[in-house]
């Protein structure tokens, strides 16, 4: 294939660019028909989802890159120090007038005088995480610690790279007695793979290891990639049961990187919802989860970053309560080599970064793991197959940013999304 693929044209993003952002600022207060209450209101579209054909598959050219992620962790944390939310994924605006405004809103909405905001930024699951909690100070501080500890604990089970994690042990050929959370996540990953026709494939680990995006300074050879294909089917994961011994088939290795942060967000949000906090905003890299409301009683505001823009240049703002938002894109983790960009998401069929017409996909769902896994899968599929998938699934909404500078939001977001023009030159639309 020639040099005009979307992957090959992605040279405008500077290495310093970060992921999509979320901005929390004073809310103007609109109504949110589809997200009132604590439950996602399913749309009336059909629910039955069949395995999908791999219609978006194409042969991929040889790829190259230059490794620039060696100092990723320190860069992310340094960046997080500036915006407390991690490199643009979530950029809470510390407005000078915030204190005055908060006092006024407290009076207006009748919040307890004891209510306060507690926040923390930390590194977990190979990304910057941040948590903001609104409520009783003592309770919020305790929950902050519990949530951070839970994230670390789940990482210790689900990381591919941490020695002795459940996934590391399985990948090493050991038999592992599965805990309830891990068994459930493996089964969900298998179901997502079937549902997305293999665009999401948790047995992608050998390819992820081979590409080693973030460390390698050149791409693997065609021969090395071809030797790993086809990937083993992840269907066997559906057999995972809590409390039962489990092992992987010969030659099979797992990578839950496309879904683990979303499931960690699910688990942390369960903890937070059990409390009497007014609200919370959790960021785990590209995963943002909101619980309840902001201090002023309004929905949380989550801004989606322009893939080509600088920090703070956003393309859309979502106003949500009690939902998970996951973004996958080509500009968070990648390899630039000889003028070509290769992103960290791989097409499990070709073994190469996908030849997609998308720059980023954001999925909004009541299930964090589903949002996370689908954003990865839809990025692989490309725009039209993703829209067909969305129409059929009926249980999530999405925002797509395309290589030809279109921003396409699904109609279910109409009441809670506003567009903004980022670095400029974008066209915006809602789709049905
Ligand atoms: P995300 O950033 O959530 O889109 O997830 C990307 C991560 O998921 C990568 O860093 C890999 O660990 C893993 N991954 C890459 N491609 C795929 C794929 N097609 N299916 C499942 N997991 C993938
Ligand atoms: Mg994902």
pLDDT at 419 over 80: yes
What is the separation of C-alpha 166 from the centre of its chain, rounded to a whole number of angstroms?
22
Lowest mean pLDDT among 64-68, 129-133, 209-213, 215-219: 64-68
328 alpha carbon to ligand 2 midpoint, in Å? 6
Confidence of residue 140 (pLDDT cuts 50, 70, 90): very high
The confidence score (pLDDT) of residue 76 equals: 42
Report the CATH number of the 23-353 domain.
Answer: 3.10.520.10
Give the separation between CA 212 and CA 344, rounded to whole angstroms: 8
> 368 or 425, which is more confident?
368
Mean pLDDT of the chain: 80
- Read off the tokens for 314: 């956003």
Q: What is the mean pLDDT of residues 267-287?
A: 97
The confidence score (pLDDT) of residue 127 equals: 94
First-residue to last-residue Cα distance in the chain: 33
pLDDT at 70 over 70: no
Give the separation between CA 163 and CA 63, rounded to whole angstroms: 30
The confidence score (pLDDT) of residue 113 equals: 57
> How confident is the model over 220-231, as pLDDT tens digits?
999 999 999 999
Task: Specify the DSSP class assigned to residue 302.
Answer: E
Other residues' Cβ atoms within 10 Å of the Cβ of residue 55: 11
Q: What is the mean pLDDT of residues 339-362?
A: 96
**Closest Cα to atom 15 of ligand 1:** 345
> How confident is the model over 82-110, as pLDDT tens digits?
333 222 222 222 223 333 343 344 444 44
Lowest mean pLDDT among 168-172, 264-268, 304-308: 304-308
Confidence of residue 393 (pLDDT cuts 50, 70, 90): very high
Which of the listed residues 213, 228, 255, 289 should we mutate to test ligand 1's pocket, taking the one with most ligand atoms within 8 A of CB? 255
Confidence of residue 158 (pLDDT cuts 50, 70, 90): very high
The confidence score (pLDDT) of residue 112 equals: 57
> 382 or 83, which is more confident?
382
**Closest Cα to atom 4 of ligand 1:** 376
Ligand 1 atom nearest residue 376's Cα: 4
pLDDT at 18 over 70: no
Q: What is the mean pLDDT of residues 9-28?
A: 28
Residues at CB less than 6 angstroms from ligand 1? 200-202, 204, 208, 255, 257-258, 286, 328, 344-346, 348, 372, 375-376, 380
The confidence score (pLDDT) of residue 38 equals: 24
272 alpha carbon to ligand 2 midpoint, in Å? 22
pLDDT at 14 over 70: no
Confidence of residue 332 (pLDDT cuts 50, 70, 90): confident
> How confident is the model over 282-297, as pLDDT tens digits?
999 999 999 999 999 9
Give the separation between CA 61 and CA 343, rounded to whole angstroms: 14
- Read off the tokens for 96: 């000078």
High-pLDDT (> 70) share of the chain, %: 74
Beta strands in 109-223 (DSSP E): 115-124, 127-136, 176-177
Q: What is the mean pLDDT of residues 11-23?
A: 30
Lowest mean pLDDT among 44-48, 186-190, 379-383: 44-48
Confidence of residue 153 (pLDDT cuts 50, 70, 90): very high
**Closest Cα to atom 1 of ligand 1:** 258
**Closest Cα to atom 5 of ligand 1:** 258
pLDDT at 390 over 90: yes
Which of the listed residues 192, 345, 374 should we mutate to test ligand 1's pocket, taking the one with most ligand atoms within 8 A of CB? 345
Ligand 1 atom nearest residue 328's Cα: 4
Residue spans of the domains in the chain: they are: 23-353
Lowest mean pLDDT among 23-27, 179-183, 205-209, 361-365: 23-27
Give the separation between CA 425 and CA 87, rounded to whole angstroms: 23
The confidence score (pLDDT) of residue 242 equals: 98
SS3 for 133? Answer: strand
325 alpha carbon to ligand 2 midpoint, in Å? 10
386 alpha carbon to ligand 1 midpoint, in Å? 16
372 alpha carbon to ligand 2 midpoint, in Å? 4
Give the separation between CA 67 and CA 78, rounded to whole angstroms: 19
363 alpha carbon to ligand 1 midpoint, in Å? 15
List CB-based neighbours of ion ligand 2 within 5 Å. 258, 372, 375-376
High-pLDDT (> 90) share of the chain, %: 70
Ligand 1 atom nearest residue 326's Cα: 3
Q: What is the mean pLDDT of residues 64-84?
A: 40
């Amino acid at each position: 294939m020639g040099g005009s693929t979307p992957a090959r044209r992605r040279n405008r993003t500077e290495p310093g660019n970060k992921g999509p952002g979320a901005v929390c600022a004073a809310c103007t207060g609109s109504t949110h028909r589809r997200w009132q209450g604590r439950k996602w209101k399913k749309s009336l579209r059909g629910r039955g989802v069949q395995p999908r054909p791999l219609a978006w598959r194409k042969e991929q050219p040889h790829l190259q890159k230059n490794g620039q992620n060696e100092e990723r962790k320190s860069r992310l944390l340094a960046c997080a120090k500036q915006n407390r939310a991690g490199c643009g994924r979530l950029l809470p605006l510390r407005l000078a007038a915030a204190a005055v405004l908060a006092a006024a809103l407290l009076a207006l909405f009748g919040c307890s005088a004891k209510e306060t905001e507690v926040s923390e930024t930390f590194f977990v699951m190979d990304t910057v995480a941040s948590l903001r909690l609104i409520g009783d100070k003592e309770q919020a501080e305790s929950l902050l610690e519990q949530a951070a500890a839970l994230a670390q604990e789940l990482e210790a089970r689900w990381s591919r790279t941490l020695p002795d994690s459940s996934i590391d042990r399985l990948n090493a050929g050991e038999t592992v007695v599965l805990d309830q959370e891990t068994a459930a996540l493996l089964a969900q990953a298998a179901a997502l793979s079937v549902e997305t026709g293999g665009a999401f494939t948790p047995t992608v680990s050998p390819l992820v290891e081979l590409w080693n995006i973030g460390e390698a300074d050149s791409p693997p050879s065609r021969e090395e990639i071809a030797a790993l294909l086809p990937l083993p089917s992840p269907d066997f994961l559906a057999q995972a049961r809590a409390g039962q011994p489990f092992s992987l088939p010969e030659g099979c290795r797992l990578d839950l990187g496309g879904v683990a942060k979303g499931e960690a967000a699910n688990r942390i949000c369960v903890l937070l919802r059990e409390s009497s906090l007014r609200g919370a905003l959790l960021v785990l890299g590209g995963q943002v989860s909101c619980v309840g409301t902001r201090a002023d009683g309004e929905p949380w505001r989550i801004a989606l970053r322009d893939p080509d823009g600088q920090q703070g240049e956003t393309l859309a703002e979502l106003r949500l309560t009690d939902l998970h938002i996951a973004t996958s894109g080509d500009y968070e983790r990648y390899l630039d080599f000889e003028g070509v960009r290769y992103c960290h998401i791989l097409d499990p069929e070709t073994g190469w970064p996908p030849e997609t017409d998308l720059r980023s996909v954001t999925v909004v769902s009541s299930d964090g793991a589903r949002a996370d896994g689908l954003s990865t899968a839809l990025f692989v599929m490309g725009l039209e197959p993703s829209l067909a998938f969305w129409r059929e699934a009926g249980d999530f909404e999405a925002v797509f940013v395309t290589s030809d500078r279109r921003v396409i939001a699904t109609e279910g977001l109409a009441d809670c999304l506003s567009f903004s023009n980022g670095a400029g030159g974008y066209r915006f639309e809602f789709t049905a």
